[in-house]
A and B are shown apart, each in its own frame.
Chain A
């Protein structure tokens, strides 16, 4: 080495190693051709020396030629000298401490958790790891679905079995990536082997491949045992996301039972503290999995939280999996609409088509097909007409309808006047009523000074002015463009274009005026001085809603529009919006709170958006609202805060739940004389999948050891790990280098020329040319 350093005049401290490398880029084919040429040339040359008698001289000349060819070949190889600075590296040993949730499971008969076994055994072998650290680069990781480096000193102090489920494939892949190109001499794995993706029978080929690729022995230290493992759990639940009010909902629970013995247990479904249903389950020894179907009928609308539980058994390994909570959104199955039409006409025909085609509507229609003076020229048995069930509809069953429509309908003689009071009370108590125009509506229907008139958004102020025949364009009240009933298109500008594109209406019930509190969403735009006539108006009456459409020509928006080359889409949207407004969907609320999702993982922020809208559904700025967050699971109030909405009537709120479970967020807004509130519910879920397969997977741990050439043992608190040893073969790492060409210099070329000259001289002396 020193000779080389002196040769190249380099200080001896700079490099401590050397290497000769061949840098020629010639291909094997070229080399083969050259070798054949050299051999051929030497053969010819040897033949040419036959005239030389002295064998000594003959071999000397031939030797010189061979030497020359060797040097030429050496030049063609383009050799280089590399002087290197290298340092010695320690081999790495990785220690993986499984910190997944399953490590919190108790092991028997000691009745200590797997995590306790791990920490105590690690502490007991602290000196072993200190010694290992001197010889090797010791890397310690917490291991669950990923690796988290930790120092030797902190490994036990910071250890908590709270990692997300075990995923050995990912962990080993990450380990390989971290040691790519570096020597990993071994892995010490503290784990219960609870990888959900791996079975208890055999290891998957993919896993085998990954373990093999590590090229390091794995020493599996099984923490805990399956001895006396006892557990009863609700391991899985199949429940729908939503159900219908008063319609049965089926839920299927999977119950797992390990070493529980023969016994009967109740499987209970609760809403809050109220038991909805309980079923007896017969647990038999030898069978571990059971399916239980539970059926219940929800009787409250909205998002409701339910709980399925099995009892705690003495000596259970896991107690947190005996209960499972879930949420179901309960909605009305369909809106029941009673549609009464005074006489058949196109307006009622087209409206009926929209309602019957709305999947959320259950429609009951009655058409008055015959008048008193009509002569049907047939007996009743030849007619399809049925008795009008006035008493049933307007006394017994009225409350079962969500919306009652009187379309061009004169109540007498079909409905006794006393039943009109029932309609008023029905709306006041939360029902909805819609009167649609025609000559038998409003004044023409005799509704003046009846309880129905009190409900309507329009008051009859001129009983003589009945009907206007003039054509008119529907005009939207300037402040109502954002009203959900008028939303034909989501985009406000497109919505205006849509309304302007609708055909004219003809035939308006006249002599009507909006009552205080009513909103005239559509008017006829007839007079700017005396005020336009209302076309479509709405009113909140008591807890209910009422509407009036003062024309029988809204079907123009459908069929005439088709005749103009358009479609009846806007007509259908308008009436479906009316139905949606009656149903009171989220888009019809003045106060709304929404979360960005319905389900969150632990430690995830919940983002809430609150909207405040005025009566006209324009943003209500600077509204003072109060938000209250409650834990439904724990039945406690967690947070109460006052907020103010911005210029757009919006407020955002972030909430970081500290525990899993179901939560409710309620906003309250004191708006003039009424207090509005809106509520949303969300769930925070920890990953509890680990408890679905809570048993130790010793087969997996044994296989890791077997295919990697390591070892396997069941860890005890006082286990001695000294016999786990790793080969400490040295690895050197290059930190610097310099290269020198050995062929592209005068010395090499001079040597070849000298050899050829000597060869020529000897040949001349021997009498050869």
Chain B
């Protein structure tokens, strides 16, 4: 028996640099757009270590208005304080980006309930999708089974036990975490963790990394885990995994 995950011999065919997977971080006016500067590089490293995704560990910082935005269908927006509302032009670009194939992951790094960043994010989302309020993501969503089977929403600080998101025509286009996932992922070049976990330890960090991997793989594969051929096995494992 072979697992789909089992064996790709190597990444020796590392050609086609432009095809490699990258995640740009979004820059904006006001606030602090990069409170966890190593978050994305650390997540990419985890992706490379744990999955077959061919990543390029390259730091990319983009403004929404950057012409190369549409080369990256997954973008990361983070912060720990309030930020200025996006200009109308950028709102329009971002709405277009999300409506037609893009994916935005927003991470609140403040580790506070009802933070200023949270308020700015909610304002941004209501500007982006005035008719589609952000909702809790259900536990049977593909995000929780795109690679790991996840039954707990972790982060460096577990402010909210759930993810929030917006879906358009069956595709989730925006995911928002209040739990400082970036803080849990961040590791320096010497391999040490940059930030301590709040109220948890190694397990909480590992769960945070698993959630980051799953969010990324959802953006890359969408709902394929809901294809009928995959469902029976996944549901059986979930049943066993969730039972005491």
> In whole angstroms, what is the CA distance A382 to B240 when docked?
10
Give B1-26 as 1s and 0s: 1 = Cβ < 8 Å from A's Cβ atoms.
Answer: 11111111111011111110100000
Say yes or no for B84: interface residue by CB 8 A criterion: no
> In whole angstroms, what is the CA distance A507 to B20 when docked?
11
> In whole angstroms, what is the CA distance A552 to B20 when docked?
11
Say yes or no for A534: interface residue by CB 8 A criterion: no
Say yes or no for A30: interface residue by CB 8 A criterion: no
| B136: A residues at CB distance < 8 A | none
> In whole angstroms, what is the CA distance A372 to B9 when docked?
6
> In whole angstroms, what is the CA distance A371 to B10 when docked?
7
Contacting pair A439 B14 (CB below 8 A): yes
Contacting pair A385 B222 (CB below 8 A): no
Contacting pair A371 B7 (CB below 8 A): yes
CB proximity of A517 to chain B, nearest CB, Å: 29
Give B94-125 as 1s and 0s: 1 = Cβ < 8 Å from A's Cβ atoms.
Answer: 00110011100000000000000000000000
Give B80-96 as 1s and 0s: 1 = Cβ < 8 Å from A's Cβ atoms.
Answer: 00000000000000001
| B240: A residues at CB distance < 8 A | 381
Say yes or no for B191: interface residue by CB 8 A criterion: no
Say yes or no for A55: interface residue by CB 8 A criterion: no
Mark the stretch among A79-87, A406-414, A640-648, A740-748 that contacts chain B.
Answer: A406-414
Minimum CB distance partner of A507 in chain B: B16
Say yes or no for B220: interface residue by CB 8 A criterion: yes
Contacting pair B148 A552 (CB below 8 A): no
> In whole angstroms, what is the CA distance A334 to B149 when docked?
32
Say yes or no for A737: interface residue by CB 8 A criterion: no
Contacting pair B5 A370 (CB below 8 A): yes
> In whole angstroms, what is the CA distance A552 to B21 when docked?
13
Say yes or no for B29: interface residue by CB 8 A criterion: no
A374-B50, A381-B241, A439-B14 are known contacts. Are A344 and B5 too (CB-CB below 8 A)? no
Contacting pair A383 B241 (CB below 8 A): no
Query: B73: which of A346, A366, A368 is its contact (CB, 8 Å)?
Result: A346
| A567: B residues at CB distance < 8 A | 100
User: What class of interface size applies to chain B in its complex with A?
Assistant: 35 or more
Mark the stretch among A16-24, A349-357, A523-531, A682-690 that contacts chain B.
Answer: A349-357
Contacting pair A367 B73 (CB below 8 A): no
CB proximity of B213 to chain A, nearest CB, Å: 9
> In whole angstroms, what is the CA distance A440 to B100 when docked?
28
Say yes or no for A33: interface residue by CB 8 A criterion: no
Say yes or no for B188: interface residue by CB 8 A criterion: no
Contacting pair B145 A384 (CB below 8 A): yes
Say yes or no for A29: interface residue by CB 8 A criterion: no
Say yes or no for B217: interface residue by CB 8 A criterion: yes
| A553: B residues at CB distance < 8 A | 18-19
CB proximity of A60 to chain B, nearest CB, Å: 105
| B14: A residues at CB distance < 8 A | 439
The SS class assigned to the A binding surface is loop
Say yes or no for A6: interface residue by CB 8 A criterion: no
Contacting pair B149 A562 (CB below 8 A): no
Say yes or no for B63: interface residue by CB 8 A criterion: no
Contacting pair B149 A383 (CB below 8 A): yes
Say yes or no for B139: interface residue by CB 8 A criterion: no
| B5: A residues at CB distance < 8 A | 368-370, 374, 376, 383, 385
A343-B53, A372-B9, A374-B49 are known contacts. Are A562 and B101 too (CB-CB below 8 A)? yes
Minimum CB distance partner of B219 in chain A: A349
Minimum CB distance partner of A380 in chain B: B3
Contacting pair B10 A438 (CB below 8 A): no
Minimum CB distance partner of B20 in chain A: A345
Best-surrounded residue of A363, A371, A372 (most CB of chain B within 10 A): A371
A345-B21, A368-B5, A567-B100 are known contacts. Are A382 and B148 too (CB-CB below 8 A)? yes
Best-surrounded residue of B1, B2, B4, B10 (most CB of chain A within 10 A): B4
Contacting pair A370 B54 (CB below 8 A): no
> In whole angstroms, what is the CA distance A109 to B240 when docked?
82
Say yes or no for A378: interface residue by CB 8 A criterion: yes
Give A492-522 as 1s and 0s: 1 = Cβ < 8 Å from B's Cβ atoms.
Answer: 0000000000000011000000000000000
Say yes or no for B234: interface residue by CB 8 A criterion: yes
> In whole angstroms, what is the CA distance A444 to B15 when docked?
10
| A562: B residues at CB distance < 8 A | 70, 96-97, 100-101
Contacting pair B52 A353 (CB below 8 A): no
Give B197-234 as 1s and 0s: 1 = Cβ < 8 Å from A's Cβ atoms.
Answer: 00000000010001000000101111011010110011
Best-surrounded residue of B101, B149, B219 (most CB of chain A within 10 A): B101
> In whole angstroms, what is the CA distance A371 to B2 when docked?
12
CB proximity of B20 to chain A, nearest CB, Å: 9
Say yes or no for B71: interface residue by CB 8 A criterion: yes
CB proximity of B190 to chain A, nearest CB, Å: 19
28 A-B contacts, Cβ less than 8 Å apart? A344-B53, A344-B221, A345-B19, A345-B54, A346-B73, A347-B19, A349-B222, A352-B221, A353-B171, A368-B52, A371-B8, A372-B8, A374-B49, A374-B52, A376-B51, A378-B148, A378-B210, A381-B237, A383-B149, A384-B145, A412-B9, A413-B6, A438-B16, A439-B54, A507-B16, A558-B100, A558-B101, A562-B101
What 7 new A-B contacts, CB under 8 Å, besides A377-B50, A381-B237, A386-B230? A345-B19, A369-B217, A370-B52, A385-B147, A386-B3, A439-B16, A560-B70
